[in-house]
Structure 1
């Protein structure tokens, strides 16, 4: 781009679109309803038919890295059928919760 006006216009377009996207996705602040939604995780039942849940701890450091404001981590077991299922529900803004490298979830990776 030899024309400085074109360069400035392109830069303004890139910065402007980044600011608009950041505002729409709450990149720089927490959504007000997030705490209310996180509180609803407590209503997930620990007994579902023959399935019984055991709570699992998630280290606070991992929660902070993920940017999660609420979570449940449980292992549901069905002794009748000898089956287990791990369940992890996180509440937070997309960003770090959905896109990160494996070493965030699996420190040994």
Structure 2
């Protein structure tokens, strides 16, 4: 007598071979690893460089030698270690002196891939060379309404004193206004400009860094291209 056919409910679904599951899991892991690498490379700027960016960066050499009461006294190059770290397409590192007061400020304007340009802030750099941050950073705004620049300002003291002796202003730009961004690394642009100005802390009504920046920021904009 022939046996009755199995009902659909009695049949066991076919199972995938263990080897196939292992291969699929490995493939997913590889894809996720590659995706993570691409995202990190994009954020770090490694996948976006092109030769024309060095032409754009070279325009920073055209920053003026005098702005307001401030006169250029020295032009220097980035420290080789910093240059390797930041991978700049262009940079201008200068010292300006106020012809009336004798106050001096150090200025760096950089253009490079978003990742390294964004993450190296004064709070990290100055804290590693014997200075200590005093208080938190704050946003300083300059310019006319609708065309306003904004930079972070932060003060440092030199040990063993706890009194502020150094004032540093810094910020970034994609070719538009300077901005005090919380997370510039996640800016939706491939490259960034950065400005950093350091000078004596001064007192209310006598702030050399602020005075210099008021004169200097307007002359930076014509030299910056959209990134």
State how far apart, in whole Å, the 1-side matches of 2:39 and 2:118 are. 21
| CA–CA distance in structure 1, aligned partners of residues 45 and 68 of structure 2 | 39
The answer to which structure, 1 or 2, has the higher relative contact order (CA under 8 A, 6+ apart) is 1
Matched, 1:35 2:54: yes
Following the alignment from structure 2 to structure 1, what is the Cα–Cα distance between the partners of residues 39 and 119? Answer: 20
Question: Gapped runs of 5+ residues in structure 1?
Answer: none
* Aligned pair partner of 1:67 in 78, 87, 99: 87
- Classify the secondary structure of the residue corresponding to 1:30: coil
Aligned pair partner of 2:111 in 65, 88, 91 = 91
Note the 1:1-109 alignment, pairs <5 A: 4=22, 5-19=24-38, 22=41, 26-28=45-47, 30-58=49-77, 61-62=80-81, 63-99=83-119
* TM-score, normalised via structure 1 length: 0.66
CA contact (8 A) 1:55 1:72 kept: no
Q: Distance in 1 between matches of 2:74 and 2:56?
A: 19
Unmatched tracts of structure 2, length 5 or more: 1-20, 130-227
Larger Rg: 2
Higher helix fraction: Structure 1 or Structure 2?
A: 1
TM-score (norm: length of structure 2) = 0.37
